[in-house]
Chains A and B, each alone.
Chain A
Amino acid sequence: MKSTSSKWRALVGAAVALAMASVGTASPAIAATTLKKGLKVFVVPKNLGNSYFTTADSVKTGGALLALKQLGEVGQETSGTTDTPASQLPVIQADITKGANALIISGTDPNALCPTLNAAMKKGVTVVTYDSDTNCRDLFVNQASPQGLGNIEVQMIAKEINPKQPTAAAGQIAIVSASISDTNQNTWIKYMKQELTNYPHLKLVKVVYGNDDTATSVQVTQGLLSSYPNLKGIISPTTVGIAAAASVLDTPKYRGKVRLTGLGTPNEMKKYVADGTLSEFALWNPADLGYLAAYAAVELASHAITNAPGQSFVAGKLGRYKVGADHTILLGPPFVFTKANINKFNF
C-alpha cells in the first residue's frame, strides 16, 4: 500500500495550480440528452487486482463502470497485472485497436504512454486521465487539491480535540510525516501551518518523519509521546504514518487522550476507528473519482463539451463540474471517513 499511497501523493502534487472546479448543488435529474449512447469506453487503471482501483472502477462500488452503464455506454475495465508502463501500454494499444471511443487512464508514467495516446487522440479517441496524470490527454480528473487536504486535516484535529468548539481547540499538536524531502508532504504541511493560524490555541510543536516505513513511523510516534507528555493531537498526512501512529495510540493510556487524524485508507484504519483510537480521517472517495471521470469522458467523446477551461457539465449524482486551468477537473473536497461510513469501503 505504501507504493500506492506515494503514487496518490505524487498525483495530487501534480495539480498545484488548480482552479476552483466543483460547484454547488446536485441536480441529478437533468438528463443529458445530447450524450451519445453505445460508446466504447475502456477504463485502464494502473493495474488490475488493486483494491483502490477496483473501488474506483466497478459497478458494485458505484465507480466508473456504473456511470458508463447508466449512460448507456459499453464500458470495460482493462489493464496489465503490474503497475508499469510495459504492462499497461500493450493493453491501451489493444483497446485502441478494438475501436475505443474513449479511454479513461490512470497513468503508470507521465511520458511513456504519450506516443500511443497522442496517436489515439489524433484519430479522435478521447483520452481522460484520473488518479494519476500523464502529459498527454484531453482532461485530467484530479481527486483533491493540496490546500484542501492541508486544511481539512487541521480542521479535523481541531474537531477531535474540541468537538464542541473546534476554533477554541487548545494544546500541543505534532505531525508524523513521511520523508523530509517529500514535496507533497511538505506542501500539505505548508497549508496546514497556514490553516493553523485560524486556531490560535493549537500549537504545532514538532514535525517528525517516519519515512513511510511502519517500524520507523512507530518509533517517531513513540518519541513524540515521550518528549511531549502534554501532546493533544497528531496529524499524519500519510497512510503508512497514520496506521503506525494509530497502533501506538491504541492502548488504554493514550486512546482518546492523544487525538489522531490525517490521510488514511479505510481498510487500514477500520480497527482503530471501531475502537475509538481516532474518529475520522480523510482521503477521497475513489468510486466518486471513477464516476466523475466516466462522465467527463462521455461528455467529451459526445462533443457535448470541449476541454476548454470554463466548460461545465453535470456528472450524475455528483452534480455540476467545471473544467479548470490546465484542462483539469477537481473532484472536490477530501472525503472524510467516519465510523458511520467506513464499512462501506474496501480498499
Chain B
Amino acid sequence: MLNPNLKLNSKIFDEDVEKKATREGFGKAIVSLGEKDQNVVVLTADLSESTRTEEFAQKFPDRFFECGVAEQNMAAIAAGLAIAGKVPFISSYATFSPGKNWETIRTTAVYNQANVKVAGHHSGIMTGPDGCTHQATEDIAITRCWPKMTVLVPCDSIESQKITTWAGEYKGPVYLRYSRDKSVVMTTEETPYDGKVQEFWISENPQVTIFATGHELYYGLLAAKELESAGIMVNVVNVASIKPLDEIGILELVNKTGAAISVEDHQVAGGLGGALAELFVAKKPIPMEFIGLQNTFAESGSPKDIIEKYGMGKTAIMEAVKKVITRK
C-alpha cells in the first residue's frame, strides 16, 4: 500500500491523475529563490524557454545572463560569479551541460567547491522524439563520480520545486536532473523532503526492495501494486539524492528483504544502480537486478514506446523482481 505517512497524491493510480514535467518545478523554484536572495543569478545557453528560465529572466533581467550556444563559457562564467559570492544556476540540456562542458565544471566549479548549480534538463528518454542526441542517459554517472558533488533527481514536479529550493539554499556545487515530458505527480505539497530515502510503497514482510529515482519511480509503484495482487510483496523506495547516498537508510531497508532492484531512466552503468551496487558489495552483498538502459543508446519515439521497447516499464520491473527472488 501507499505509505500514508508521506501524504502522497491520493489519485496516483487514477486515470485522470495530474501529470506535469519536473522542469516546471525548477522554473517556479528559481523565481522564488530570486525573490528571497539578491545573489541568485541564472544563466542559460540559448534554451531559456524549454528550460523554464523565462519567468526569472523577466522578473530579474539584471540577474539573468544569456550566453548563447556556448556551454563551456556559461559554466566558467558561473564559476566566476560563484567565487565572487553569487548563487548561479546554469540551465541547459544535460547532454550539453554537464555533458559537453564536463571538464569546465570539474575544474572551475567542483574542484573549487564553487557554489554553482548545474540544472541539467531533458534528461533520460523523456526527451523521446528528439532522439538519442538529446536524451541525457549518462549524466548521473559523470557527475556522481566527482568528489563532494551533490547529485539530485526529483521524482515529480512538486518534489522538483522542493529540491531546487533546497539546492539554492545549500552552499556548494549541485547537479540537478530534470525531464522534459510530463510525468505523474506522485507527491503533494505536504510530502516531506529531507534528502533521505522514502518508502512510497510499503508491505508487510516484503521480499524485495525496489529503489527508484526520477519519474521511473511511478513504474515501480505500478509494478508493486500488481505484484501484491499476485501475492508478491515488495517495498518501493524513492532515492532523490544519488549523492550523498542515504547509506544508513538504504541498508536498513535491504536488511528487511535481502534483495534489491534499481530503477532509473539512465544507463544502468554508473547511475543509481551502480551507486547502490557499490554500497551493497562493500556493506551487505545481496542479489540485485538493474532496470534502465542496458549498454545501449535509446532512439526516437514516444517516452511510453521507448520505455516499453527498452525494458524500463512495469512488466520489466515485475520480471526483475521475480528473478531476484530466485537468486536469494
Q: Do A and B come from one complex?
A: no
B interface residue numbers (CB < 8 A to A): none
